[in-house]
Amino acid sequence: MQLRGYQQYTVNEIYRWFGEHDEGNVCVVLPTGSGKSVILAEICRDAVQTWDDQRILILSHVKELLEQDAERILDLWPKAPLGIYSAGLNRKELKQITVAGIQSIRKRACNIGHIDLAIVDEAHLISHKDQGGYRNLLNDLRTINPALRVIGLTATPYRLGHGLITDPPAIFNDIIEPVTLKDLILEGYLAPLRSKCMDLLLSVDGVRLRGGDFIEEALQKAVNTAENNAAIVDQTLKISQGRRSILVFCSGVDHAYALRDEFQRQGETAEAVLGETPSDERAKVLNDFKAGRVRVITNNSVLTTGFDAPDTDVLVMARPTESTVLYVQSAGRGMRPKTHCPDCLLLDFAGNVRRHGPITDLLPPRKKGERRGDAPVKLCEKCQEFVPISLRTCPACGWEFPPPPPKKFKLHNDDIMGEDGKRYLTVTGWQWRRYLTNSGKECATVTYYSGLQSVTEYVLLLHGGYPEQKALSLISTFERRCGVKINNPYDLDEVIEVLNGAQYPSIISVEKDGKYDRVTGRLWN
């Protein structure tokens, strides 16, 4: 297995950070779908082969991620001294590199012994307080080895209700973000989302928060109605015509079953996958989904991590959430590159896109105790008392307010990708050339022609650092998409000669970047 350019750059940036900081821990922010498990696998391989006495512990909270991390380590290094410690996987092995479930190992520091490096997958789950399974285990391990260092991996460096993952009291001292979601979409490693705000917007009026998110029991009661479910399924099937696989995020177990039943009632093949679903039944349903034998899966927060079905081309958000992490994880399930279409449709019945903003430019979550502003009020017709608008009964006289009429919203695109102003050009040709930059370094340029219009892109193969890694990834994409081979990507003459004779993309996406146009995506027929 060979690392992608940005993955190797990420490993280098982690080493650079530790080289500049004699103590402390770092959280690495990587988009969903970037291959976090490949990056941690390379860190393990390189560390153990460079310092043969290093002992590494990889921690996660679900067995699917443990399996994924272990598989990637063995893909990269088949002879790795790897053990798995997880009750869910019926494994209890402690080796030089150990992949472990936090629930299984959190009280086993004495059994684990000396650890030099701990890597926490989905690091946003570490408690913001100096308590909880992760914090207690890491504190115990630090007692054994005070020089223990910790790397966190996450797509969302926030903790629900508590701000950034580095806000005190924090285990992480710094955040690095080696690659962005836009970079990966630009280079073809991820597929973009297209989001819709539907005619129906699920109301959360009167639903209170606990731990920073809506209380599930109250949320289900508010949204899980026959009328809502029929509308969700009806609109989903109408808009999803021609699409292959539909993944639905529901507001609870009962809601998942109810939506599954409604999809089936309307003639669609649908199954529900829940925490209580037996593992063999879950595996069969997921295999049928990936094979196209089941078109719809409804779930309640169990397919947000460790689940990969690249051809999922419709996501349905039927769970309103205040959790930025849950929002991003759910959206990420549709961003794997497809074999049959260029994007994934996101149908947002929950209002989450409006609530959190584009996934390329998230609104930071509110900290606990931050005000939302004064609640609107309404007037009791019986006693003329002003009461909060969310109340259904007047606290002064007991009069019951009539239920509000269902809200109607005009169907329009919500900008989940943060790409307002993007346009698409049909490419009629391209031209690769040498170019001398203002810094005196040479680079390659490619000019895409679309009739009388043209857009130029700069490929900085000789500039070092991330620009160079990004350019190498782009060249790798061109090789794959064009079906050509470039022996030495640092040889500008070879790059230009090979790609000038290669098949140019049929469509490019372009957006304004200041005064100039910037290419943000390419599609080959």
Query: In terms of domains, do 410 and 428 share one?
Result: no
What CA–CA distance (Å, rounded) separates 499 from 510?
A: 21
Range of the structural domain that residue 19 is part of: 5-179
Q: What is the pLDDT of residues 336-385, one digit of tens each?
A: 888 888 889 899 999 888 787 777 666 555 555 554 333 334 555 664 44
CB atoms within 10 A of CB 415: 18
Query: In terms of domains, do 26 and 149 share one?
Result: yes
From the list 320, 138, 96, the residue with the least C-alpha distance to 216 is 320
Q: What is the pLDDT of residues 486-495, one digit of tens each?
A: 999 999 999 9
Query: In terms of domains, do 208 and 301 share one?
Result: yes
What's the confidence (pLDDT) of residue 148? 94
- DSSP characters for 86-124? EGGGTEE---SEEEEEHHHHTT-HHHH---SEEEEETGG
Q: How confident is the model at residue 405 (pLDDT cuts 50, 70, 90)?
A: low
Q: Is the pLDDT of residue 409 over 60?
A: no
Query: In terms of domains, do 223 and 121 share one?
Result: no
What CA–CA distance (Å, rounded) separates 366 from 77?
A: 42
Q: What is the pLDDT of residues 233-244, one digit of tens each?
A: 999 999 999 999
**Among 194-208, 214-228, 392-406, whose mean pLDDT is lowest?**
392-406
Tell me which of 134, 154, 179 is where a domain ends: 179
Q: Classify residue 373: in a domain, yes or no.
A: no
Q: Classify residue 433: in a domain, yes or no.
A: yes
CATH number at residue 67: 3.40.50.300
Query: In terms of domains, do 352 and 458 share one?
Result: no
Q: Which two tokens stand for residue 443?
A: 């680079």
Q: Which two tokens stand for residue 342?
A: 């260029």
- What is the value of pTM for the model shown? 0.66
DSSP H helical ranges for 278-424: 279-291, 324-332, 352-356
Query: In terms of domains, do 69 and 126 share one?
Result: yes
Q: Which two tokens stand for residue 125?
A: 């789950």
Domain count of the fold of the chain: 3
Q: Classify residue 388: in a domain, yes or no.
A: no
Tell me which of 145, 179, 213 is where a domain ends: 179
What's the confidence (pLDDT) of residue 196? 67
Kindly give, in sequence order, each residue whose CB lies less than 8 Å from that of residue 191, ignoring residues fewer than 6 positions away: 185, 334, 335, 336, 337, 338, 342, 343, 344
Q: Classify residue 155: in a domain, yes or no.
A: yes
